[in-house]
Amino acid sequence: MDEKQIKLNISQTANKVDQFLSKRLMGKIKNLWDAANHYILGGGKRLRPFLVIESFKLNQPYIDNLIPIASAVEILHTFTLIHDDIMDNDPIRRGIPTVHTKWNESTAILAGDLLSSMSTVLVNESQFSPDIKSNISLALGNVGIDLCEGQTMDMNFENRTDVSVEEYFEMIKLKTGALFKTSVQIGAIAGEFSKVEIEALEQYGISLGIAFQLVDDILGIIGNVKDFGKPIGSDLREGKKTYILLYALEHLSSTDLKNLKTFLDKKEKNDLDVQKALDLIKKSGAISEAKLIAKKHASEAKKTLSIFPESEAKENLVGIAELALTRTN
């Protein structure tokens, strides 16, 4: 299946999710619900709902009952974005002002909390058996714990100079891989898959998440700000320890390494400082190395699907792993 068809299939799912959420995400306090809807109305690929649906379709025919649980995953993801932007003090997300920038931090925190609660409501309103709904709710609760641990690791790394590559990968398994894993896991739970099938999909999700995050790190260095949706170099400015930065710190010459560490030690970093640091990172070969590792994890994701028979859903999941490597946003 070619990239154009994959994107079309994702878009069709996105439309169904958006239509559902437009009717469901509304309430009495207008500014709160407007804040909660801000990123959703601002667009997005809805990749995680797509993973829920396509994993289910690996051995079950599509049913409309999937839309509420797929939407629950999307709004849980949106909740994490709102809170992450507050913690990172990011002004832009997907090319639009962040929720805390457009409203204020208190409203943004409440909007995130609202979405977290709504994800539970949507699961319990869905037309699945009580046991399936209970297991889906448990999966969402567990991923919430993973996301909090991953975000805390990410923040802790900002004040450390001894972060290892192994720690970085553990962090992105929790912060990025966990929600991809849970998306396909929920589809499998809804479809009453075997334990072996669920475990294969969970590994697919983790590997996909790692590839996705590595490409995100790359785009944060060499991406187009218009496509990427937030300022290039913002991770560097905030002191985030990405794989690319860790690689550069290990492979730059002594003079270049000293210059990069001087940049990292600065409390106030201007645009010229950031650009010089970006140039040093590119010089280290970190971009090429990150691309190779992302490709490796995308290949591993595709291999885990070998236990499933050929189908359009399998082609879509394979296609997403390939799309993770070529995306620009």
Tens of pLDDT along the chain (329 residues)?
Answer: 788 899 999 999 999 999 999 999 999 999 999 999 999 988 888 999 999 999 999 999 999 999 999 999 999 999 999 999 999 888 888 889 999 999 999 999 999 999 999 999 999 999 999 999 999 999 999 999 999 999 999 999 988 888 999 999 999 999 999 999 999 999 999 999 999 999 999 999 999 999 999 998 888 887 666 666 566 777 788 778 899 999 999 999 999 999 999 988 888 888 888 889 989 999 999 999 999 999 999 999 999 999 999 999 999 999 999 999 988 77
Dig out the tokens for 12 from the structure. 């069709």
DSSP letters spanning 64-81: TTHHHHHHHHHHHHHHHH
In CATH, which of 1.10.8.100, 3.40.190.10, 1.10.600.10, 1.10.3720.10 is domain 3-326? 1.10.600.10
Residue 229 CB neighbour total at 10 angstroms: 18
Separation CA 233–CA 134 (nearest Å): 42
What separation, in Å, do the N-terminal and C-terminal C-alpha atoms of the chain show?
Answer: 21
Most distant CA pair in the chain: distance in Å? 63
Structural domain spans, the chain: 3-326
pTM: 0.92
138 burial (CB, 10 Å; 0-12 / 13-18 / 19+) is exposed
Separation CA 312–CA 169 (nearest Å): 31
Whether residue 78 contacts residue 40, with contact meaning beta carbons closer than 8 Å, is answered with yes
